[in-house]
Amino acid sequence: MCLSLSVEPIIGGHEKGIMSGIREDPKWEFPRKNLVLGKTLGEGEFGKVVKATAFRLKGKAGYTTVAVKMLKDHASHSELRDLLSEFTLLKQVNHPHVIKMFGACSQDGPMYLIVEYAKFGSLRNFLRESRKVGPSYMSGNDANRNSSYLENPDERALTMGDLISFAWQISRGMQYLAEMKLVHRDLAARNVLVAEGRKMKISDFGLSRDVYEEDSYVKRSKGRIPVKWMAIESLFDHIYTTQSDVWSFGVLLWEIVTLGGNPYPGIAPERLFNLLKTGYRMEKPENCTEEMYNLMLRCWKQESDKRPIFADISKELEKMMVKNRDYLDLAASTPADALLYDDALSEEDTPLVDCNNAPLPRTIPSTWIENKLYGRISHAFTRF
């Protein structure tokens, strides 16, 4: 059932503020009185996500913990349309590595999207928090895992195998979206959620666009865009395809291997235009195999048709999981330099600047980057 959009601009508050003229979809409508909102889990300029409890969700007895996505009072007509677009999109998707929607509240108040709750929050924050965990319990073999690991597997330190698994799960979710002909347009560690059991869930489809009849979406409206995750054709020509999502996935791989590092550390977003055009790509992180880095570089090919497709990326990562028997103690191998984690140096949503007037970046030798970011790293390898 399609949603009929006839929406007034949001003027603020919960009255004129929201939903005049949105037709109810009985299959997805959830009684507002059965939803108890809790603490805020995250928020942006126009929207926020709160933890909530839903009573008799999908006919299930008792209460279910969920997350609820909503707009802030000062959000505009455009933001509401984006939320409704996400609602329409999430009705269509059903995959273990894509966030699941349970329902919505669209009548008699603000629009709420009710989605599954991911207890560990965003992948970026999860990776950064993991740096604080002590040495991994995994040593020579399964017999040496201590009782704490067996009792709380979600709390053990990350291994390289875990990181490959995270990447593989996300690639499977993106393969599904590609097969559905859906372009995400904002794939990044901040938009992947980590559920119980360290299950990856692709989320935040506010920028996603349906391309059932076209293979690309050309962005015509100006706005704030995630420059450091964007493919070269998206930056220069405003073209978004599944293959531009592949470029973003390469940046996401870099985020995973660096445990939540900021891409292109120390480089201002407006300098990237000329940098990328001249063939510059990020250096191999210290904790990264040649095989994984080679995958990143192929995701960053200038010609989109030369990048791997998500189906092939999934197969490659699966092979890495199977054959990789080296264990890297990431808890003892994380960058100590604040530059890698300084968000102020990397505006995630940066206004598109005039490419012709963008200043040329200073040349940064690869050795400088590696020494600056990873100079104080110690790492240990143990073979199973």
| Catalytic residue status for 186 | yes
The one catalytic residue in 186, 204, 245, 329 is 186
Strand partners, 333: none
Q: Indicate left, alpha or beta for 267 from its phi (over 0: left) and psi (-120 to 50: alpha).
A: beta
**Within 13 Å of residue 304, how many CA atoms lie on the same side as its CB?**
18
DSSP classification of residue 379: -
CA distances from 53 to 26, 41, 50, 69, 216 (A): 20, 13, 10, 13, 39
- 201 annotated as a binding-site residue: no
Token reading at 311: 């189906």
Measured distance CA(363)–CA(279) in Å, rounded: 13
Measured distance CA(87)–CA(4) in Å, rounded: 12
What angle, 0 to 180 degrees and rounded to 10, lies between the N-to-C axes of helices 310-323 and 242-257?
Answer: 30
Task: Give the catalytic positions in this structure.
Answer: 186
Summarize the annotated binding site as residue ranges: 69
Summarize the annotated binding site for ATP as residue ranges: 69
